[in-house]
A = this chain, B = another copy of it.
């Protein structure tokens, strides 16, 4: 049986990934650590918006961060998150092709 805090953490993890900006941030960081100032220009959103997205990923236990001087460097905390993206992408791909076959929606 799944304990309640674990279920809650699962929900938080999936919720953290249920946003296109946050998925792209994970993909970006899977290529190596980045400070916020390097992440910002990849998105046409305010600094505060990106900062909050990073916090959501951090609080879900998906990212690590360390401070170096006046910068904050974010990194992938658990490589399994990349697995999650890959698995979801393959489900997405299969689903999209089944929609094409059946002409569904």
Q: Determine which of B7, B24, B60 lies in contact with A20 in the assembled complex, contact meaning CB atoms within 8 Å.
A: B7
A19 proximity list for chain B (CB < 8 A): 11
- A12-B24 Cα distance, complex, nearest whole Å: 15
- A17-B87 Cα distance, complex, nearest whole Å: 13
On whether the beta carbons of B9 and A95 are closer than 8 Å, the reply is yes
- For A, the interface residue count at a CB cutoff of 8 angstroms equals 39
A80 proximity list for chain B (CB < 8 A): 87, 90-91
Give the shortest distance, in Å, between A80 (CB) and chain B (any CB). Answer: 5
Q: Is A6 engaged at the interface, CB distance under 8 Å to the other chain?
A: yes
Contact with B along A76-98 (1 / 0, CB 8 A): 01101101110111111111101
A contacts, CB < 8 Å to B: 2, 5-11, 13-15, 17-20, 23-24, 27, 60-62, 77-78, 80-81, 83-85, 87-96, 98
